[in-house]
Structure 1
Amino acid sequence: MSERIAVLGAGPMGLAVAYQLARDGHHPVIFEADDRVGGMTASFDFGGMQIERYYHFHCISDADFLAVLDELGLSSMMRWTETRMGYWFGGQLQAWGNPVALLRFKGLGLLAKFRYGLHAFLCTRRTNWRPLDPVEASGWIRRWVGAEAYEVLWRRLFDYKFYDYADNLSAAWIWSRIRRIGRSRYSLMREKLGYLEGGSATLLHGLHGDILRHGGEVRLGAPVERIVIEDGRVRGVVVGGQRLAFDKVVSTVPLPFVPRLAPDLPEPILARYRALKNIAVVCVIAKLRRPVSDKFWVNTNDPDMDIPGIVEYTNLRPMDAHIVYVPFYMPGEHPRYADPDTVFIDKVKRYLMQVNSALGEADFLDVRANRYRHAQPICEPGFLERLPPRKLPVDGLWVADTSHYYPEDRGISESIGFGRMLAREVVA
């Protein structure tokens, strides 16, 4: 029997939910507060160039993403590129990301290099992550790689992404990041990452169009004000002051919004949502006349730089100008998050000119900053038990965001796979 189902949020997960529901003969209606689909994958006009607000890349292991491309007839738009990593340490840009680069790295002793490499290798071979869920990550890494390698290669990555939470993260979450990058290698020495011709917009437009063709709806600029719950079941949503009836509701918006959207949920459930914490991001995008380096991804360990890394996007996806993303992660309540965009933009110019001394002010064609308050969940030890269930104790209501495919990091492929699974569960 066909059901009328409200889907909150048009990011990759919400689109995937509606895509699967529509293809299965139901009538999903997506409500999105933004004026475009995509969430963190949405693009914007960057001086005549359409580009994502936040950087994205694809790994050869992204099976759910590749499957939906095939279904949409978009597989021919996929491109794979051999990419390079770097590490800015000791005032110089060093090669990184393979065993030879590790051996040649200036700043570590031989034993520290061996322990670091062994840990990374074993992470790619581990399959059972649950024993790592209650383990604190920084201590786990120190025990494996030693104090020297942790200080040089890890500490600032923790500090400049999580600040006060740096010593209270789940080892399972860190493990999943190490494994994903490790599995993007197609040989011991080479890394291969992918991009879509036209960027993420190619996928977003494909999903959007397919939902419409199969009888679904996508309503933009239409934030849901309230999920209507009566007599222990969901009755619909309130949008623009108007109550709309639905058989079921699936929310994919960030979990911190749930207490405001569904205040009629039982208080113990609301308390679990309120206890969740998120990292915010200010992502600066620079358009340059010339490249900064030949690296796609550069980790940074520099006392003068309060960033975990630099992403030179056009070393993955060629474009008309050189595009660099520089993310500033921090808890949303951190005072620095309130700084004006110009503070972050000035820092980025200085940092990039420090990495490449040949760059000057005239090489910066345009620089913008985008912000997202709920960019990433803070996955503390034991996060699996803290996470509210996706199926709530209300008939017809499901609530999930990227936290629900923990320990995997947020990603387009993971959101698609989880969203499609959720859609099937909703109508099972």
Structure 2
Amino acid sequence: MANVIVIGAGAMGLAAAHRALALGHKVTVLEAAAEAGGMAAHFKLGDLSIERFYHFICKDDHPTFALLAELGLVQELRWRTTSMGYFVEGGLHPWGTPLALLRFPHLRLIEKLRYGLLMFISAKRRSWRSLEFITAAEWITRWCGRNVYNKLWRPLFDLKFHEYSGNISAAWIWTRIRRLGRSRRSLLQEELGYIEGGTETLVDALVSAIEQKGGTIRLGEEAFRIRIAASRVTGVETPSRFLSADAVISTVPTPYVSRMVPDLSPASRAAYDGIANIGVVCVVLRLKRSVTPHFWVNIADPDIPIPGIIEFSNLRPASGGEAVVYVPYYMPVTNPLWARDDESFLSEAMACLSRIAPAITADDLIASHVGRLRYAQPVCPPGFAARLPAVETEIAGLQIADTCFYYPEDRGIAESIRLGRAMADAV
């Protein structure tokens, strides 16, 4: 039995702690925030409890299914038919099915056929290795042509990755296409899942299970420094105490690693510091009525400064016909727009919705929230896999990972669970 400290009480940290306790270890979880959950934590939007950042479940999310079974929550999983839209040149169009593609008015027939073939092959493809050293722009252009990339994809990349947009790994975007392409009831029907009560249901169950198994979760206690002696981890220093440990699992964003583990070699610190991240300002709106019939809408319109909206209530229904809409603004925190006040983001987000659905006005707004996360999306360029440090570090007993270690998979609850459990197994 080892004395294990897990840093971070997001989904990955909680999954690691839960698994480590099941293996017989003693576990303490340190979380700087006042609540557990990380990106999966909830907040109150008026009287509605809702995720800070939206989450959904796909048919291939097997680690999530396994954990729900362990926690006795399988009966809380719900599946719902969802759809996608594309807002292009001032109009909203259905998207995501062969029929929608054929009816889409802004591509030539040959472009539609090439695009459909790319989506079909991507859903069937098993390996990402041959895509690892080319950009998403090169890959999409090779399959679909320059016009398709410039019309449908480049605006999304530019608004999400800004100066990094032309250097995103094809392997990374392929896994996103594949995950969604495989979460379908049929060729014409997308089907996604959610947990009744939201991700809070899963977080609360994990916290309860950890505490029932004898684990300790210290909220509002930041891991200030990981202590090392003779190339082995000895514990974690917080602002108020030192906690000894035989093993430490860190799940906090990689930009914090160099400060938290100054005893790493210069090469290791440089590897963590070299991972770029994009921040997000996420405007969450509770409205009196629906904006669109779609779960998500991609936006490729020069007059709208966001890459899309997520109408979460078209997955997890809200009461009384209300709508819950996420409007994410992705940008590096060095971007001058990051310093804008919350009210500016809120008014602009409402204006964007009015462009998509002119009937939506300020009178439809019931409640709103503007959340910010400095390290929301890792930037994954070609060759990213080789640039990632090993999860098991050069320091004995110390493992470090955050969401970029899911690569080529993107952020998600299932990947958090998978990697968290794997790190516990490695203790």
TM-score range, shorter chain: over 0.9
Q: Secondary structure at the match of 1:28?
A: strand
Q: State the match for 1:27 in structure 2.
A: 26
What is the one-letter code of the residue matched to 1:423?
A: A
Partners of 1:152 and 1:188 lie apart in 2 by 24
1: CA distance between counterparts of 2:267 and 2:147?
A: 44
Q: Which moved more, 1:235-244 or 1:95-104?
A: 235-244
Aligned mates of 1:27, 1:241 — CA distance in 2: 21
Give the letter aligned to residue 203 of structure 2: L
For residues 357 and 128 of structure 1, what CA distance do their matches in structure 2 show? Answer: 43
Partner Cα separation in structure 2 for residue 218 and residue 367 of structure 1: 30
Q: Which residue of 2 aligns with 1:271?
A: 270
The answer (yes or no) to whether the contact 1:249–1:396 under 8 Å persists in 2 is yes
Structure 2 residue ranges without an equivalent (≥5): none
Unaligned runs of 5+ in 1: none
Q: Which amino acid aligns with 2:157?
A: F
Q: Tell me the amino acid that sits aligned with residue 424 of structure 1.
A: D
Question: Which structure 2 residues correspond to residues 23-102 of structure 1 after superposition, within 5 A?
Answer: 23-102=22-101
Q: Which residue of structure 2 lines up, in the alignment, with residue 209 of structure 1?
A: 208
1:364 match: 365
3-state SS, counterpart of residue 396 of structure 2: coil
Q: Please tell me whether residue 158 in structure 1 is matched to residue 157 in structure 2.
A: yes
Percent identity of equivalent pairs: 48
CA distance in 1, matches of 2:74, 2:230: 47
Q: Which residue of 1 aligns with 2:244?
A: 245
Number of equivalenced pairs: 425
How many Å apart are 1:361 and its aligned residue? 1.2
Matched residue, 2:230: 231
Structure 2 partner of 1:188: 187
Letter in 2 for 1:398: Q
The CA deviation at 1:357 is 1.2
Q: CA deviation at 1:148?
A: 1.5
How far apart in 1 are the matches of 2:68 and 2:413?
Answer: 12
Describe the superposition over 1:158-208 as per-residue Cα deviations: whole angstroms up to 9, x where unpaired.
Answer: 111001000111111011011011011121000000111100000001111
Counterpart of 1:166 in 2: which secondary structure? helix
Residues 13 and 418 of structure 1 are in contact (CA less than 8 Å); yes or no, is this contact kept in structure 2? Answer: yes
What is the aligned partner in structure 1 of residue 328 from structure 2?
327
Supply the distance in 2 between the matched residues of 1:248 and 1:87 (Cα, whole angstroms). 48
Residue 293 of structure 1 corresponds to which residue in structure 2?
A: 292
TM-score (norm 2): 0.98
Which residue is equivalent to 2:420?
419
Aligned to 1:8: 7
Deviation at 1:241, TM superposition (A): 3.7
Partners in 1 of 2:167 and 2:151 — Cα distance? 19
Following superposition, the deviation at residue 331 of structure 1 comes to: 1.5
Corresponding position of 2:166: 167
**Higher alpha-carbon deviation: 257-266 or 234-243:** 234-243
What TM-score, normalized by structure 1, do the two folds share? 0.98
CA contact (8 A) 1:25 1:214 kept: no
Offset from partner CA, 1:83-137 (integer Å, 9 cap, x none): 1111111211111110000000011110111111111111111111112111111
User: How far is 1:343 from its partner?
Assistant: 1.7
Letter in 2 for 1:14: G
- Give the CA RMSD over aligned residues: 0.9
Maintained 8 Å contact 1:59/1:184: yes
Q: Distance in 2 between matches of 1:396 and 1:90?
A: 54
The offset of 1:356, in angstroms, is: 1.1
Question: Aligned equivalents of 2:158 and 2:224: distance in 1?
Answer: 36
Give, in whole Å, the separation in 2 of the partners of 1:234 and 1:358.
Answer: 59
